Amino acid sequence: MKENRIVVQKDMVFGIFDVYIKSGNGWVVQMEVETIPEGECYPTPVTPLKMDNTAAQALMDNLWDCGVRPSNGTGSAGSLAATERHLKDMQAIVFDNFLKGEKK
């Protein structure tokens, strides 16, 4: 399979992302975009950009470096959020059951 890669850089001035696509030995410099009404099938032939696991991981790492995080709360960011919620719950239990109880 020829090398396909996507590189993303965050434009700090405008807060948008610059996306560069490498296909084979060169970089894509122009793409044709066709709008398909919602609910309709993709026209034939449509060729998706294919990438192996290494390239997909590099894209994910690149987006992470640009500040993009998963929206569904999974992965390390989601695990940390769940741990923080659990810690708050445990602090509330300790405060309600022990610290308030000592003041009585």
Report the predicted TM-score, pTM, of the whole model to 2 decimal places. 0.52
Of residues 45 and 39, the one with the higher pLDDT is 39
Q: Please tell me the chain's helix, strand, coil percentages from 3-state DSSP, rounded to the nearest 5.
A: 40, 15, 45
Alpha-carbon distance 48 to 29, whole Å?
17
Q: Using a pLDDT cut of 90, give the percent of the chain over it.
A: 1
Cβ contact 17:11 at 8 Å? yes
Nearest of 43, 12, 11 to residue 20 by alpha carbon: 11
- Backbone torsions φ then ψ of 43, nearest 5 degrees: -70, 155
